[in-house]
Structure 1
């Protein structure tokens, strides 16, 4: 197998390979596992409630698609926790490495595209209310979501193609890029091909999954704010707080990841920065994954009606469980009572038979 010239061997040299884990590493693994469990539970709850308990609306379709993408991403997070707990070694093979990485990038693109689409949708409702009233409907939003998922899948294909399980001399296996896959047939320079592919994928992620969606989000909410100010409308505090939270969370979760991948491209392979970047990227990716844990809080729990639906759904589930338990307890009690009553009847019959036998014997002796 051909690999691109990298700094993997320098970064993960035998001298740097330590046996055992520090307390900070154990705490990080525990925190990562905890966040992944919370993300799975809350996104699963939102998908179940919005998908089956909430009446179809434009907002519910946006939230359902966002929560579905986040649920898909958080469902794969435990594998990364196992990767960290195993000494940063990938043990699931090359095929699953590509699948796992593809889910990460798919969620990255879907989340960015959906956040931008939701921002534009809110902007159109405020700026073009008549157009929104006439043309904005559930069918249109559903088609837009299908297009968003399709675009995200297309953007994810290159990352699936160049992801691989890379063995190191130290015995570790990295789930990372292998730009030397699918090399051209004509004469080529391996270093040049790897550099061009690496730069292309980095800037695809940077522009399509971060800068352009972030620009759309900021401009959309800026237009909404300016339009409301021109009308003299009072912006609700909840709206302002939600806008700030969305923009800040999106930047804080994804900016470190994109910063490190750009730094990885800019730094030479033999530079010491490469070692720092390779160690920092898993942490930055975890922070990016954490956006899937925060999205339900920002976009769902900020809606009072949806929170009420969730509480009612949880209450209905608990009532159902309690009802089943009470029914089972009642059934057991009735079974016990019926068995006791049957035993009492049988005892009474036996006593009556014994009494009759005694009377017959006494009559026979008297005669």
Structure 2
């Protein structure tokens, strides 16, 4: 089969024996860290979804947070499979279809996060600049439809990455990476086509998932701050602080990944920078995954109401568990007391029956014996 694989791969260039020899040091730490991060991220995002979905009044803000948490949960739920891939010596053993699905979840989260953060920034901008419009038209139904459109657009943007993802035999292992030679048109130049596809996907990620959302975010908050400064109004710090923290985390987590993608795309394959890029890209992708783990922490520490709701919900769960234990304990004690009472009642009835069957003289004769034995 003709394959046109990207040169990226980091430790893909080392063979399985070398990986096994180094497994006792840095790789074990990295694999363990991935496992811990994935577990923490899944628990955090499930907690956010549970609390915001069932214990917080439905509002525009809660819908934004629910959709961000759902995207982050998808990303963190895929991390255990990436951890398994690393633990098996960078060899994909879960089949081609799941390779494409797993990779697509990573890119879907990338697009959804960028689109949602841009939409949230525009939402805050409209609230400040067009308060009358926001009062009349800004509601949970509109935001719900916008979120649905964002997810649909993100799925469409993810389709090319699903199409060109493939399992590729490479030096005794199986890589889950790009195969740009899929669906070749007739009479094409394979090398030129692969280069075009590689550049197209890299620029698509850079502009749609990072640069355009970042420009929208910057424009929105510059407009909001300028408008509030002209009016001499106080800035609504609580939600703005949350959004700014989430945006800064998004930039810090995703900027290294896109930077190395661009370097890999532009640098010649024989250039020395390619060796550095191939080692840095897997690490930068891991940093991108951390965005899905850090967002729930920002929700909790930047929103006191959400923090109190989580404490209340966890407290209610613990009280329910303790109440069930107390009820079971009381039921067991009540059952034990009733059984003892029944036994004592039966013994008394038996003794009274024996006593009533004795003759008066037998009772008189038995009393001294009892007294003597005392």
TM-score after normalising by structure 1: 0.91
Q: Output one character per residue of 1:160-180: Cα deviation in whole Å (capped at 9) or x when no partner.
A: 1111122212x2222111111
Give the paired residue count. Answer: 362
Query: Offset of 1:77 from its aligned partner?
Result: 1.1
C-alpha separation between the residues in 1 aligned to 2:278 and 2:350?
86
In structure 2, the residue matched to 1:181 is 182
C-alpha separation between the residues in 2 aligned to 1:7 and 1:320?
56
User: Aligned-pair RMSD on alpha carbons?
Assistant: 2.4
Structure 1 stretches of 4+ moved >6 Å: none
- Does the aligned pair in 2 maintain the 1:5–1:191 contact within 8 Å? no
Query: Offset of 1:158 from its aligned partner?
Result: 0.6
Matches within 5 A, 1:41-190: 41-169=43-171, 171-184=172-185, 186-190=186-190
- Does the aligned pair in 2 maintain the 1:8–1:168 contact within 8 Å? no
Query: Helix, strand or coil for the counterpart of 2:175?
Result: strand
Query: Offset of 1:59 from its aligned partner?
Result: 0.6
Matches within 5 A, 1:237-316: 238=238, 241-242=241-242, 244-316=244-316
Query: Offset of 1:244 from its aligned partner?
Result: 4.5
State which of 25, 30, 33 in structure 2 corresponds to 1:31. 33
Distance 1:44 1:359, change over 3 A: farther
Query: Helix, strand or coil for the counterpart of 1:76?
Result: helix
- Does the aligned pair in 1 maintain the 2:5–2:179 contact within 8 Å? no
Moved more, 277-286 or 135-144: 277-286
In structure 1, the residue matched to 2:211 is 211
User: 2:350 aligned with 1:341, yes or no?
Assistant: no
TM-score after normalising by structure 2: 0.89
Long gaps (5+) in structure 1: none
Q: Output one character per residue of 1:18-69: Cα deviation in whole Å (capped at 9) or x when no partner.
A: 3241433222222222221111111101101111111111111111111111
- Does the aligned pair in 1 maintain the 2:16–2:173 contact within 8 Å? no
Distance 1:357 1:94, change over 3 A: farther
- Does the aligned pair in 2 maintain the 1:39–1:293 contact within 8 Å? yes
Query: Offset of 1:156 from its aligned partner?
Result: 0.6
In structure 1, the residue matched to 2:372 is none
Query: Helix, strand or coil for the counterpart of 1:165?
Result: strand
Distance 1:92 1:361, change over 3 A: farther
- Does the aligned pair in 1 maintain the 2:6–2:198 contact within 8 Å? no
Structure ID, larger Rg: 2
- Does the aligned pair in 2 maintain the 1:36–1:77 contact within 8 Å? yes
Moved more, 13-22 or 144-153: 13-22
Query: Offset of 1:206 from its aligned partner?
Result: 0.3
C-alpha separation between the residues in 2 aligned to 1:299 and 1:8?
35
Distance 1:3 1:352, change over 3 A: farther
Query: Helix, strand or coil for the counterpart of 1:235?
Result: coil
In structure 2, the residue matched to 1:326 is 326
Query: Offset of 1:219 from its aligned partner?
Result: 1.1
Query: Offset of 1:238 from its aligned partner?
Result: 4.8
Moved more, 30-39 or 346-355: 346-355
- Does the aligned pair in 2 maintain the 1:162–1:177 contact within 8 Å? yes
Distance 1:70 1:88, change over 3 A: same
C-alpha separation between the residues in 2 aligned to 1:15 and 1:61?
46
Query: Offset of 1:313 from its aligned partner?
Result: 1.2
